[in-house]
Structure 1
Amino acid sequence: MEALLGSAPSCAICAVVLKGWTESREMVIANSLVEGMFDADDPPPDLYAALPDIAAYWTARRGVKLEVTRKAKSVAIHDGGDQGDRHTVLLRAECQASARSSGDAHDPLLAELRIVMRGDEGVAMDRNTSSLSIWRPSEKTKQAGVSSPYVSDTLLSANPLSQISLNVARRWLKTCLETHGSACSVAYAAAEPMWRRMPTRVLEIVSGSTKIYLREPQEHKLTDPRYVALSHCWGQDGTPFTTTHSTLASRKEGIEIAALPQTFRDSLVLSASLGLQYIWIDSLCIIQDDIGDWEAQSAQMASIYRNAYLVLGAANGSSDTMGFLDPREIQELVRLPWRNYGLALQLLPAEGRRWTDSAGPDPLAREPTNARAWCLQERQLPMRALYYGTRQMFWECERMRASEDGDAAAQEGSHLERLCATGNIAGSVFSRPQRSPYEEKRGANWVDWYAMIENYTSRSITKHTDRLPALSGLAQAVTAATRDVYIAGMWKAGLLEGLLWCRTQLGQILCTTADYVAPSWSWASVIGPVQFPVYGWYMNRAQWKAKMSDFEALAEYVSHLTEQKDLDEFGQLKGGYLTLKAPLVPVASIKPRQIETPLIQNLFGQEPLRSVVGDVVLEIQAGEGALTQDMWIEGGLDRPEEGDVSENGRLSVVFLTRLPYVLEDGWIEHRFGLIVQKLDDGQYRRVGFVDGFILGRVEGETLGIVGYLREPKEGDLDEEERPNNLARDPLGLNKSEITIG
């Protein structure tokens, strides 16, 4: 490291290796934080130090290893299970620390440089052409089979419309069509007219013409059902080019290509270069000032994106005026001076930022479309899609994902199939098919849906009333696949888990919208990112602790009603309620939560973790007369002004689930629920959440966690027969039927 630091200013290879190590260090830090390798409140002193300031690396004289290696990736790409091999030659530079301990975050640093060859870029397409020609494969292209769907190690072009880049996209599409069979194709009835497979309106590209034309497939009886669906960001001020009632006729007569915003022109050039003549763009194919048409087309989003021959993702375009085919920044490169071979070394992204397996990192995570709510379902629904990122393009389909720089992985199923995989499964936070101290982590019922909602609520959306419509197509597709009942952004089979949402940061305020969006118990009723803490407990802690009981449901579903505002049964709402049978206890007082974690009373054991977003402690009173129990529990209010416990603003806690935290000689009682306010009509509305252990007074104002001793009673089942035996509900609260609006 010391030698490298001295050489980097004058040596190109040393400089690139140093950059690779710096990016690798970023991943070391990120992984250490995720895996909890140290106390986040007391991190290693050099955690965020620059590499030259971390002595453990630059003093490791024997810790730097250089090697040239060949990596062969064998990827299943055919329905029959045939294999396609891709070989990459790498220069690997690894730096190990001089000494390591479990919590110092001094993991080895790795920089990998791919050996690439400069190829012939050919004649690039003109993104600003005023007329387009549909690309037709030559006989030579038709006869050349598909030996591998992956790019050979050729230097990426800075121009996304170069022949090198376009040929990669064509090869991906050809591979998918010829080797993936029915896996990536929509099944249709043989007698079904071609035009029925298309949206209500599409745009037609006519070879040699300077115009495109808005067509209605049914009216024109179109016989080529292949269409591209564009996924794009309109921009902060909306797209400058739309179809309205006043422009509908002129759109059918022809739209000058030169008059279109750059993103639309870019998508037309790409579609034509792939041999496709029809494209669906929402702002042009939906009549924007016709509420009825918008509602009807919005309800078809699932089929529009699912049935598209190809979805084109303008991932790096922040607005329609900007486009997405600008010259690209090429990953750091060192050209090698050997004769005329045109060889170079190109730095690969750090491990953990590559697209090498279906569960790996998402290279589009930082692109503009990933920040928009509407674009989420457009990413989840397609059977095959081509995305243009800031540095390169990416492919996704039911059998393959690949990147232009050569990373690739086989995968089974689409985003949609993986999203549905944990819908209605046997394993849930309330029960597991088996228990073992070494139990492998498995998904829990609807965990992937609610993880997606966490992502979705962090995205921006222009109209907050679109929070449910922007998810409508995906909800429709998931309903068809799982047969579960969709309830205002949640699922009946995962209702209690879905009701337990809360803010993501301490001090965050979850505001409601001026216009009605959803009932107060739905995450869609508030503005701002939310999380589902029950899943965090289960997936990260409860699941691996074999002696800990599963969550126990304290609430029972009774009924619900959601009133649709329009034709889309998964879209906008104008009202709704949910009736539960659950313990309901009044709140006597609310005060700020104490900073220190309360100590455990009566028991010895490990200090439990507490909610990181709770900021209040609520005094609750259960029972009546001499049987009244004074208890406290931690939680948080969605909005600080909701903490009114006066006679007119009486608050209560609805307990939804309990999770006994089992210790050596007893347990402590962790409960999750909602803070609700009673309204004049007898219904309740959600105003906050509870997430904490049952507390009691130790002395004065000091609160401690109440410990419950293991006291088995005669006639109880053995612990193996009922693992929750020694952690029975210590409160035994009666249930009341309550309706929350």
Structure 2
Amino acid sequence: MPKRRHQKPPVYDGPPIDRASEEGEESSPPPRHRRPPTKCSTCFDLDLRYIPQPHKNPNFCSYGQVARHWIPSTDLAKDPSCASCSFLKSAFDTLINSRGVTEIPPGKHVSYMIAILDRNDDDSEDDFAKKRMRDAARNKETSKSLKVEMRCIVKGEKEKDDGFQEEFQVEIYSPLGAEPAPWKSIGVAGEVPTKPNAEECAAIIKLWLQDCDQNHEFCKAKQGTGEFLPKRVLDLSDGQIRLVETTPGKRGHYVALSHCWGKEQLMTTTRATIAERMRGIALEQMPKTFQDVVAITRGLGLQYVWIDSLCIIQQDAADWEQQSAVMADIYAYCYLNIATTRAAGGHEGCLGPRWTVRDSLAWAAQFSRAVRRGSDDDNSKSISKTRKCEVQSFKVPGMQQDIRIRLAMKSSHEALQTPRWIRNHVDTAPLLLRTWVYQERSLSARSIHLHANEMVWVCDVTQRCECKELDGTPPDGDGWGASKDQIAKIGAMTADNKALHGLWRTIVEDVTLLDLTYESDRLPALSGLAYRFAEYLPKNERYLAGLWEGDLARDLLWESGGSTQTAGPTRDRKMTAPSWSWASLVWGGDDSANGLKWEHETKPKLAKWAGIKTYKQDARTRIISASVNVEGQNKYGIVSGGSIVIEGALCAVVLKKGATQASNPPLANVTTVQYGVFNSLHLNYDTPTSASSAGGTIYCLFIGSFSEMFDGDDKPHVMHEGLILKPVDGGRFVRIGHWAQHIEDWVDHKDVWTRKSRVHRVEII
């Protein structure tokens, strides 16, 4: 890999940079005669006002990477009179010598460079994410740690510098209560113990619970005067653990557990073992995760804990259906939800040593491909391995103050905010990839996440963490997914059904990224949230296999992206939902990174390149009837088939040039067009196999139009959208995809069939 060019920055000789004015805020200009107090052109004395940033200094960058002001370690050693350079060199040498971040074989050393990050300069193009970051920084009562990016390579003294193999972030901070650092850019952060026990964790959680009890009226109001105990709970009193059946209406504080069952057989309650569980359960016989949760619950001074595998009778369909129907209440009214976020199985435990991932593999692979494209070289040698590193801080030597350096805990700060990128956290937060857990943490008034990095608190009002990075930040996510505070406050949306329907579609977008052991649970795993939405939607609005009757035509316009993903969603014969429901597909898995595309209108404008979309249903589109067959007592659970009868503009599209429509078409007098006649029609099939099974002719049903207005546009960009249908026996149709067609000036001369097609009534199953 060739060397990355590094250009030493010139000494800054202009007026002071006013960060506030750059963000669009009013501020008075500084006097012209002022000069920055910095003397060092290498580190700029750690003064963030003068360190070159990407939007001001685009030349300080590496090929294919974010522009930064990179400082080689050799430059930090050039001027011993600069206290800031000497401090940075000492700090990073300490981190390297700890051997906690990289492996150094005998006879090798680490060559590195660093870039000091400006928190007001986010890499993301998401305007919404940038605004959140700025607002959080302004509302912060104490300054945060200094974030620094580091790139390094291990090599011998005489080896050629062949490029940097690893990249990661670190943070430099003063511990809470310590004397402030001499640089304003180095703020305060909390210490994160490497291996805390249950008592230490409980002590921290107690403080957060007390603050929430005393100061969060919204969280208290959600629980009312006390929690109704579930039908069965584990009673931890008198030093014992017993399964008990509660009397109806009994109140009390209880903990509800969110956990992964894992591949190993968990301890469960069945009809054969329920009597034994009620006599008592030995702690040492429980899976390690259960033992840890029992210890934390006792440390909190609470008597009851609810664990699904022990409190729901397994292999009993009637009890499972009854309890899954009230799952929303079990989590909504618990005193605390403990989420074993770091554990992929019940036998792993959730109180082991804290660790973070040196996730440099993706960066190294991307860079390697970019600079060696077309080369016969073996790229694998330049790609480092992803490793686990212990969460541990190191005191910077030679300082009078207590200043520390550690690897940044990015996963604990991002995993709960970025649903689109949840698979980036499969190692550190595997629980969050489970569909059932999405509902559990969304409905609970407050959750404690036992993450691999640290504990994270999320309630309906705020977030907190042990390192203090999240303290005071609202639980509103990154704007692309459904945030916890949106779900908590759906009662405030009752006057806006459009917002409620939009939020539901966004929730479904989120959960299609997640995994299930049994795909048939896809609808039951959302039944608690569906029940909550039904409380606030117009009375008697029906729930139809994951769609809502009040906006049904719009709800039909979901897009799976299956035709562009060779390993995208599939349609299993065992799936019982009707083809027009997103629940008819098998979601999740490693290739589900894009998930479902469904909601556009109610999300904020998330990026500067995005437009604002509005939807209008075609006047000819009309739902005649809709129904589903619900299995069992839970009307928001499993369905077996369903039907929609709909009227709308429809045409037959002949896919192959020269082919003709079937001799016995399912509809008479249907408008027929050749697919190649217009190049603006996009056919997005639901699964990779839908296209091959479509046959020679498909049927496109027009539903409605999306108008998107971009900044500076004189008129909106219009997209017509609808369903791709395939005829089946009996004159009915099944959905096999979603189509979209641009309606712009440049296609006026093309065949825009939606303007002239006849209206037909079809039944879709």
- TM-score calculated relative to the size of structure 1: 0.66
Q: Deviations over 1:448-475 (max 9, x none)?
A: 3223222211211111111101111111
5+ residue gaps, structure 1, are: 38-70, 76-84, 96-108, 120-150, 429-443, 592-620, 696-703, 710-727
- Is the CA contact 2:169–2:407 (under 8 Å) kept in the aligned structure 1? no
- The answer on 1:390 being equivalent to 2:467 is no
Moved more, 178-187 or 668-677: 178-187
Residue 113 of structure 1 and its aligned partner are, at CA, apart by: 1.9
**Counterpart residue type for residue 721 of structure 2:** F
User: Which residue in 1 is equivalent to 2:429?
Assistant: 367
Aligned length: 574
Residues 666-675 or 346-355, more deviating: 346-355
C-alpha deviation, 1:307, in angstroms: 0.6
Deviations, residues 125-170 of structure 1 (Å, cap 9, x unaligned) = xxxxxxxxxxxxxxxxxxxxxxxxxx98442211232765432211
Pick aligned residue for 1:252 from 278, 299, 305: 278
Report whether the alignment pairs 1:737 with 2:761. Answer: yes
Which residue, 12, 16, 23 being the options, matches 2:91?
12
Aligned to 1:470: 525
Offset at residue 383 of structure 1 (A): 0.6
Shift of 1:354: 6.1
The amino acid of 1:87's aligned partner reads T
Equivalent-residue separation in structure 1 for 2:446 and 2:237 (angstroms): 24
Task: Tell me whether 1:234 sits opposite 2:269 in the alignment.
Answer: no
Matching of residue 674 in structure 1 with residue 701 in structure 2: no
Relative to the length of structure 2, the TM-score reads 0.64
Native 8 Å contact 1:587 1:645 kept in 2: no
1:213 corresponding residue in structure 2? 242
Distance 2:354 2:729 in 1: 60
Q: What corresponds to 1:61 in structure 2?
A: none
* Matching of residue 634 in structure 1 with residue 701 in structure 2: no
Deviation at 1:316, TM superposition (A): 0.5
For residues 24 and 379 of structure 1, what CA distance do their matches in structure 2 show?
A: 32
In the alignment, does 2:214 pair up with 1:178? yes
CA distance in 1, matches of 2:548, 2:670: 41
Q: Does the aligned pair in 1 maintain the 2:190–2:466 contact within 8 Å?
A: no
Is the CA contact 1:371–1:460 (under 8 Å) kept in the aligned structure 2? yes
- 1:458 matched to 2:513? The reply is yes
Letter in 2 for 1:4: S
Query: Which residue is 1:344 aligned to?
Result: 404
> In structure 2, which of residues 314, 318, 323 is the aligned counterpart of residue 292 of structure 1?
318
Higher fraction of strand: 1
Offset at 1:235? 0.7
User: Aligned with 1:218: secondary structure?
Assistant: coil
Alpha-carbon RMSD across the aligned residues, in angstroms, is 4.8
Could you say what secondary structure the match of 1:502 adopts? coil
What secondary structure, in the 3-state scheme, does the structure 1 residue paired with 2:734 have?
strand
Which of 267, 276, 292 is the aligned partner of 2:293? 267
Change (3 A) 1:20 1:255: farther
Q: In the alignment, residue 507 of structure 1 is paired with which amino acid?
A: Q
CA distance in 1, matches of 2:401, 2:608: 55
Alpha-carbon offset, residue 12 of structure 1: 3.2
CA-to-partner distance for each residue in 1:200-252, whole Å, 9 max, x for gaps? 10001124x3x410001118x86x61100000000134x42100011010000
* Distance apart, 1:327 and its partner CA: 1.3
Per-residue deviation at 1:20? 10
CA distance in 1, matches of 2:302, 2:172: 37
User: What's the offset of the Cα at 1:625?
Assistant: 8.8
Structure 1's 328 and 297: CA in aligned 2 closer, same or farther, altered over 3 A?
same
**SS in structure 1 at match of 2:349:** coil
> In the aligned structure 2, how far is the partner of 1:320 from the partner of 1:502?
35
Other-structure match for 1:433: none
Tell me, in whole angstroms, the C-alpha distance in 1 between the residues paired with 2:121 and 2:656: 41
CA contact (8 A) 1:301 1:473 kept: yes
Q: Is the 8 A contact 1:588 1:645 kept in 2?
A: no
| Cα deviation digits, residues 276-306 of structure 1 (max 9, x gap) | 1100000000000111000000001000000
1:486 equivalenced with 2:543 (yes/no): yes
For residues 558 and 680 of structure 1, what CA distance do their matches in structure 2 show? 21
User: How far apart, in 2, do the equivalents of 1:543 and 1:34 lie?
Assistant: 6
Q: Residues 91 and 405 of structure 2 are in contact (CA less than 8 Å); yes or no, is this contact kept in structure 1?
A: no
CA distance in 2, matches of 1:494, 1:675: 19
Q: For 2:420 and 2:653, how far apart are their aligned partners in 1?
A: 45
Say whether residues 1:308 and 2:377 are aligned partners: no
Return the alpha-carbon distance in structure 1 between the equivalents of residues 569 and 518 of structure 2. 16
Q: CA deviation at 1:569?
A: 0.8
Structure 1 residues 333 and 523, CA gap change in structure 2 (3 angstroms):
same
Question: Aligned pair in 2 of structure 1 residues 319, 94: CA closer, same or farther (>3 Å)?
Answer: closer
TM-aligned CA deviation for residue 479 of structure 1: 1.6
Identity %: 24
Aligned 8 A contact 2:255 2:334 in 1: yes
1:225 aligns with 2:280: no
The amino acid of 2:704's aligned partner reads: T
Partner SS state of residue 561, structure 1: strand
Distance 2:335 2:91 in 1: 44
Contact 1:653/1:676 (<8 A) preserved:
yes
Displacement of 1:545 in angstroms is: 9.2
Q: Secondary structure at the match of 2:730?
A: coil
**One-letter identity of the residue aligned with 1:653:** C
CA distance in 2 between partners of 1:481 and 1:323 (Å): 39
Instruction: Report the Cα distance in structure 2 between the residues aligned to 1:566 and 1:626, rounded to whole angstroms.
Output: 40
* AA matched with 2:565: G
CA deviations 1:553-611 (Å, max 9, x no partner) are 353223211111111110011121122221121122258xxxxxxxxxxxxxxxxxxxx
3-state SS, counterpart of residue 654 of structure 1: strand
Give me the whole-angstrom Cα distance separating, in 2, the residues matched to 1:500 and 1:637: 12
SS at match of 1:578: strand
Q: Name 1:197's counterpart in structure 2.
A: 228
What SS does the aligned partner of 2:278 have? helix
Q: In structure 1, what is the Cα distance between the partners aligned to 2:324 and 2:241? A: 23
1:380 aligns with 2:442: yes
- 342-351 or 498-507: which moved more? 342-351
Sort the Cα spacing of 1:23 and 1:643 in 2 relative to 1 into closer, same or farther, 3 A: farther
Q: Which runs of 5+ in 2 are unaligned?
A: 1-69, 78-87, 97-110, 151-167, 179-186, 356-389, 477-483, 658-664
Q: Which amino acid aligns with 1:227?
A: Y
8 Å CA contact 1:202–1:281 kept in 2: the answer is: yes
In structure 2, the partner of 1:507 is 565
